[in-house]
Structure formats: structure tokens, C-alpha cells
Structure 1
Amino acid sequence: MNAIELFAGAGGLGLGVTRAGFKTLDVVEWDRWCCDTIRQNRARKAAGMEYWPEPREGDIRKFSFDQFEGKVQLVTGGPPCQPFSLGGRHRAQQDHRDMWSEAVRVVRETQPTAFIFENVKGLTRATFETYFTYIYLQLSYPEIAMRDEETWLDHRARLEQHHSSKGSSALSYQVMPPKVLNAANFGVPQKRERVFFVGFRADTGIQWSWPRETYSREALIWDQIHGDYWDRHKVAKRDRPTAPRTSPLARDERPEGQAWKTTRDALVGLPDPELAPGARSKFTDHRYQPGARSYPGHTGSPLDEPAKTLKAGVHGVPGGENMLRRPDGSVRYFTIRESARLQTFPDEMLFHGSWSETMRQLGNAVPVDLAHTVADSVAGHLKAMEARTGNA
């Protein structure tokens, strides 16, 4: 099965798709640092990127995708999210960085069997409700393109009329109701929420549902109170919480599923780059970055919970964010390697650029494991359809 990766960034979504068994035919990204990250790992034959083509670097609006018509089963990507992020200016469709129409154009030109698009949770805010439904309608009927001189509101009205009248379209998709997924509930050691759009071409008849959440906060609390969490991490009793959290669950009432993965889980094997500078040199991209400080609302991520959401920042790493908070209350910035682990990138992967540039790449990324969970579920349905019909 073949795939196209749009707005690839550092490759988090694309790597999840690769792990799910798709062959990537095209990778598109405008940012040169992200492209250099992909090129570097392709050359090193690392992380699965050795199977990717050379990325097409540049403005997606200047690229054609007609050559892939009928040749791909999946189109994926994360259109630039600054117009919708809580840290951005919230301009949505008025922002020149809004690339949703380009994502729809690629679907229209390639006609894939399915697509996976994702974005920040901020897109679901009430402020953007009108535009949110516009995205949904465009993905449902990509063949109904915007006309010359037509405003997006007029285009939305025309799509809505088509939808309500149950009009026929040569190319239409059954789009699942978009859903916000918390990466921590899928085994990622980070509380990171992204909204996903998944659709299957209407003529496939595929009935799909969202992957089931298999990790929980309740299971983590049980593990830390009744399980072997502290022993597993070899935390001395004197260093364990003096006032452990209480749990309404008895020892024999362990919740179903697995415990949330914590920051401590993610950093196993990595020495503290500030306290053990000699040992840290054995690990790539694991350099201590000074300057972290704590202030109200920005206190860092505690060791024994999933990390807070890594953020990209508009002008470098946000002050007070992307930090580790040690049990003694001291803080320091996460290293690149630690941040990569929190985003479930493999240790063999290297990132191109300065510390602040690399942290921006990581702060914008989709956790690889979350991407794999969604893509693997889609792949399973596509394979079942192929087995049933003899084609994809």
C-alpha cells in the first residue's frame, strides 16, 4: 500500500504511517530544517526514513500531484496549525499559513482510498466552528472545488447545500466525526491532544471506528500505590512521595488496560545532562541547555506523570515550557533526545538545526506511536477490503 506525506515536519506522522506498513511515495515539506532532518536520516538509513523518497522542499501550492492519481491508498499530513493553535494569533482562514485547501486539493488530484489529517486541539474551539465544518465538508466532497472569485463562505454554503440534498459526487469520502485524541491514552509519555480527521472513499463501503484507548490515569495511580512502579524504577523509599496519592481502588481492583507512561518511564537509561555531564556525552543530542526557570503557570513536567505538551513556540522555545521538574523542585530544559523520547521518536533518529530550531520541530510533531496507532487501524481496514475485493 502506498502513501503520500504532506506537511511532513520532522516526520512523526509519516514514521507512524511507515510502521503501519505503507510505502511512502512522496514527502512534501516547506521548512528547510525539517527537510534536512529527513535527508540526514535517509542518508544514515535510520528510523525507517531510508525507505522514503527525497523530500520535495517548497511551497505545496507550487506542486502538482496528478502523477499519483490512482496510485496511492493513503494521503496524510498536518496542515500548518498556527492559525488555530492556542499560542497563535487565531486568524484561521484569514491566515496565509492555512493550508487545508491544499490538503483537499491533493485528495482531489490523487483520489486515495483513505486519508488521515491532524491538527491542534485549538481547531475545535467554538471560535472556529464555522470553519471547522467547512474543513469537514471539503474533505467529504473534494471534487466540489472553490470557484474563481468565490469566497470560502460561499463555497461552504454550496458544499452544505450539496450535503443536505444528498447530491451525488464522483469523488466523495465517508469522513468520521473528527475526534480529539490524547496521546497519553495510547501509550505516549506525554499529555498531548490532537484532533484527527480520517476518511475513506465512499465507494469502498468501509466501516471504521476510532482505535480504543488502552492506557489510563487510573491504572497509573493504581500502579504507583499498589503496583511495582517505584520498585521498577529503583526509587528509594525515602525519595518516594511522602504523601502518596490515595486511590479508591483496592489492590485487587486493578483497572483494565495499562498505566499511563510517565516522564520517568520515557527517560530510562538517559543520565541527567546537568548532573552527569560526562555520562550524557554517550548519547546523541543529549546536551544540557541552561536558562530554564519556573514561574506561575510554567512549572515544568513532573517525573511521575506523563509530560505536559511539548510546545514549539513562535520565537524559539517558550520560556518556562518544555522543562523537567525534579522531585526537589528544581527545573531544567528537556534535551533534544529527551524531547524526542517524549514524542516517541526512535533514539537512532537525529535532528538537524540548533537547539531552539530542533525543539520547534519536535514541538510541532505528532507522536510517532500515536500516528502508528491510527495508521495501523486504517491499514487493517484497507487490507481487509483488498482481500475481499482483490484491489485497494
Structure 2
Amino acid sequence: MIRSIELFSGTGGLALGLHQAGFEPAALFEWDKDSCDNIKSNIMAGYPGIQDWNVVQTDVRLVSYSDYGLDIQFITGGPPCQPFSLGGKHKAHTDNRDMFPEAVRAVRELRPQGFIFENVKGLLRKSFSSYFNYILLQLSHPEVVASEDRDWTDHLRLLEEYHTSGTHAGLEYNVVFRLLNAADYGVPQTRHRVVIVGFRSDLNANWSFPEPTHSKEALLYSKYIDGSYWEKHRIAKARRSTASQRERDNILRFFDQRERGMRWLTVRDAINDLPDPRSKKAERYANHEFRDGARAYAGHSGSVLDEPSKTIKAGAHGVPGGENMLALDDGSLRYYTVRESARIQTFPDDYLFHGSWTESMRQIGNAVPVRLANVVGESVARQLERMDDCDAKRRHSNDKTL
């Protein structure tokens, strides 16, 4: 078990995936009441393994971490992404919703073995590059604190000088980040997220991000070379999309000297066994109610069945690009049901959403895909286990020497 604390937990996607990997949160902090209520409702309904979760609705700026002792091994969370979102106002450090300073404070006060933080692709925008470097340096040296009267750029300069000095006596973390596409790890959705992982420097972690397990090329192979995708879903030949000979040759050339591996999962893979939400059978499935009103127009189209879904977003009718709509085989459009969206985000079917359709879609769109969280969490857990094994062997060797 990896004892952790989660900040900005939302409706629990990151926490669920990490829990499956062996993380046990001492507390989950979230200011949004509806998100907290949804996790609590699942706890009360008996969702397995989370009965001991302590969900705290609060502003993390008010949290005293001294209440949780010094045995917290990892801090996890998704600081609010609106300051960096491509769909937001891009205020970054001038946005009062920027909670990265609070993530740094938690690391400084709890001194964990490491941390996992997730955020949107927009964090890597060129216009945010200096501030992103500032975030990474703060996480690397959380005890190098600026006085309140100094601007963040002054603090950045201080951190740069300290980082390049070569003499680091205080708390220090080795920090890496990567832009991950959830589809590359078995999530039926193209969702690009920045994941930041740090290990305390005294641990010699020697960790790297897990390699992708799924690929677009393997999906193309299953469609246009061996036809296994269409056969799995019993799609008649007349309804299958086709590729030109040149495209087929390119696919074969791509796999000429490499393993094919697993293919990207599609919307059809994720929801094919769910009945039409307009049918009577849909009543047997929780959160699978039909929502009318989907319309297509320029720049606003739905996800297609035989590709990974577009990125599920925290919105309902007004989401730019129509990411929360589905284009059916007959050419018609409809909105994803809550259950379909939850599947696209890899929430288990017995994890329920208790708010309205609009509120549930907001929570799901803000969540970390459970599967992606699990993949990263398992990789970190394996690293911690390896380090524990090495420590045990070292102690055993020392005992024998004595």
C-alpha cells in the first residue's frame, strides 16, 4: 500500500486509477461540493475498496498538512486547468485558480517520496513556457521560497540560480514530465495531458514513464490489412471504410521491422454492448438516459464510432467542436449519455454519477481517465517496490557484514 494524499480530486478518476495500483489516500481534497458529493455517494453505495476514503470539501489553501503526519509517501492531483486550458482565457499565473503553488506547498510540508500531477496540454503553450519552467523548478526545490513581496519572475531567477549552483542542501526532487495521449494506453479517446512526476532525490529512483501499449497504426492494420476490427464488431463489408493501396502499403511498411502491439480502442469498442438510450432496454443501465438536441455545424461535429473519441470535455451543449456528441452509423447525431462518457473516460460501470446530465458531464470531462491513472500509478508502484527490495537487500548485506 502506498499512503497518499490527493489534491483537487474532482469526481475521483485519478484516485480510482491510483487506488487500483495500490495507492491508499489518507484524504482527498476538493472544493467543489457536487464532485465531493458524487464520491461520497459511491462510498455510501458500497463501491468496492473506497469505504475508508476521507473526502474533504475545502479550499486547499486552508489545509494544515501537519494533521497527516510525515508518513505520506506520495502526493497526487490535478491542479485546476482553466489557467492553462486551450479553451480558457490563458491567464496562467495571473489566474486566481492557479493552484500549482498549493501543490508545491503540500510537497514542501509533507516531504513525500514523490508526487504525480496532471494537467492539460495547454500548459506547454509557448506563451506559458517560462511559467511552466517556474512550476518545475518549484517542485524540484520546494524549500526555496520567495518572500511575498517578490514577483514570480524574481522567484524564478532565484530558483534558476539555486538550481545551477550545484550545492543543494535542502529538500530536492528529480522531476520529469511528458505529454501523454490516453489513447496510447488503452483509453478509447484521444486525450493529451501533461503528467509531472517527481521522486525525492535521496531515493535514486531511476524511473521513466511507461511506454505506450496501443497505437493508431495497429488500429489501421486491423481495419485495412487483416480486417480483424470489422470482424470483431460484425460490420458488413459494404459498411466498412476502405484504404487506398498506397495507404495499405504505408501501413505494412510501418510494421515491417517492428511489433504490431495492441491497437487504439474506439468508441464502438467502448459502448457497443450498451443499448440505444432511446430503447426500453436502456432503463437497465444506470446513467444511460437519452439527451436530445445534438446539432452539427461547421467546426462542430461528433465523434465517429470507429475511431477513438474526441476529448470528452467539461461542458454540455456548448462544447466547441462537438466533442460530447456521437455520430452514428446512419449519419445521425446525438449526445453521449453519461454512461457512455464515463466509459470513454474508463470509469467502471458500477461507479455512478448522481447529478444532472449537465453536472455529470462536467465532472466526467474534468476527470483523469481511470485507465491512464492506473498505468502511471502501477509504474510508480513497481519502482517503489524495487527500491524497497534494494533497501532490504542492502540492510541484509550490512547485517551479514556485522
Residues 219, 255 of structure 1: 8 Å contact kept: no
Amino acid at match of 1:341: R
Partner of 1:258: 262
Residues 323, 334 of structure 1: 8 Å contact kept: yes
Instruction: Report the Cα offset of residue 98 of structure 1.
Output: 0.4
Number of matched residues? 387
Distance change (3 Å), C-alpha of 1:284 and 1:72: same
Partner of 2:53: 52
Partner of 1:26: 27
Partner of 1:354: 356
**In 2: Cα distance, 1:285 partner to 1:215 partner:** 28
Partner of 2:280: 278
Amino acid at match of 1:264: R
Partner of 2:193: 194
Say which SS state the counterpart of residue 332 (structure 1) adopts.
Answer: strand
Q: Which runs of 5+ in 1 are unaligned?
A: none
CA RMSD in angstroms comes to: 2.0
Residues 300, 320 of structure 2: 8 Å contact kept: no
Question: 287, 296, 303: which is aligned to 1:301?
Answer: 303
Residues 317, 359 of structure 1: 8 Å contact kept: no
Amino acid at match of 1:261: L
Instruction: Please give the per-residue CA displacement for 1:362-392, whole angstroms capped at 9, x wherever unaligned.
Output: 111110000111111011111111122149x
Instruction: Report the Cα offset of residue 169 of structure 1.
Output: 3.2
Say which SS state the counterpart of residue 324 (structure 1) adopts.
Answer: strand
**In 2: Cα distance, 1:106 partner to 1:235 partner:** 52
Residues 301, 321 of structure 2: 8 Å contact kept: no
Partner of 2:212: 213
Check if 1:269 corresponds to 2:269: no
Say which SS state the counterpart of residue 89 (structure 2) adopts.
Answer: coil
- Between stretches 311-320 and 374-383, larger displacement belongs to 311-320
Instruction: Please give the per-residue CA displacement for 1:121-172, whole angstroms capped at 9, x wherever unaligned.
Output: 0000001001000000000001112322122111111111100112313211
**In 2: Cα distance, 1:113 partner to 1:364 partner:** 27
> For 1:1-392, what aligned pairs fall within 5 Å after superposition?
1-46=2-47, 48-53=49-54, 55-176=55-176, 178-225=177-224, 226-241=226-241, 246-248=247-249, 249-250=251-252, 255-274=259-278, 277-313=279-315, 317=319, 320-390=322-392
Instruction: Report the Cα offset of residue 228 of structure 1.
Output: 1.5
Amino acid at match of 2:386: A
Residues 219, 256 of structure 1: 8 Å contact kept: yes
Residues 326, 333 of structure 2: 8 Å contact kept: yes
**In 2: Cα distance, 1:2 partner to 1:169 partner:** 26
TM-score by length of 1: 0.94
Say which SS state the counterpart of residue 281 (structure 1) adopts.
Answer: helix
Amino acid at match of 1:216: S
Distance change (3 Å), C-alpha of 1:174 and 1:319: closer
Residues 183, 308 of structure 2: 8 Å contact kept: yes
Partner of 2:399: none
Partner of 2:400: none
Q: What percent of counterpart residues are identical?
A: 51
Amino acid at match of 1:365: A
Instruction: Report the Cα offset of residue 269 of structure 1.
Output: 1.2
- Between stretches 248-257 and 330-339, larger displacement belongs to 248-257
More helix by share: 2
Instruction: Please give the per-residue CA displacement for 1:224-246, whole angstroms capped at 9, x wherever unaligned.
Output: 12141111112223322266784
TM-score by length of 2: 0.92
Distance change (3 Å), C-alpha of 1:136 and 1:242: closer
